Amino acid sequence: MIRLAVFASGTGSNFQSIVENQISYKVVVLISDKINSYVIERAKKLNIPYAVFNPRDYDSKDNYELEILKTLLVHEVNYIALAGYMRLIGNILLNNYKDKIINIHPSLLPAFKGKDAIRQAVDYGVKVMGVTIHYVDFGIDTGNIIAQEAFAIKNNMTITEIEKKIHQIEHKLYPKILNNL
């Protein structure tokens, strides 16, 4: 069985969906970079161990990731799932988990990479949006695509309605893909 670490920075709705739908993987630890993120409350309620690493507490990105790596090794993590983790993964983790770090992104990559992808797509006026699950590499949202799911933008859909639809897709698609690893 895959031993999975989930990295998250925010509210943790994807984290919760990943935990609640584990079949062929087991979430063994949550890693966050924000001590006050709601995802930590979710981890406590779901009895998932967690660790918080504030990057400002380290003199370099490598030292920051070395501390995270120690925790991953203690928990015998095989794969990492990024679920709203708002930091770029660096050399230490990429080299130690080559082709074993997966991300979910709220656009149909390669379009609208990086932050605020939903806003970028809406501002561009796209008629189709979706979600991409991909492997993480050294670029920003440039890794090999594992899966995508799209939906049509209906007339007068608000950004809130679009975000809700994207979250619905994410909460089903991400656990499905993780279970198929």
Write out pLDDT tens, residues 76-126.
Answer: 999 999 999 989 999 999 999 999 999 999 999 999 999 999 999 999 999
Is 75 annotated in the active site? no
Question: For position 28, which CATH number holds?
Answer: 3.40.50.170
**Structural domain range at position 89:** 2-179
Q: What are phi and psi of 164, to 5 degrees?
A: -60, -45
pTM, to two decimals:
0.95
* Number of domains present in the structure of the chain: 1
Q: Is 109 exposed, middle or buried (0-12, 13-18, 19+ CB in 10 A)?
A: buried
Tens of pLDDT, residues 16-37: 999 999 999 999 999 999 999 9
Catalytic residue from among 75, 105, 134, 171: 105
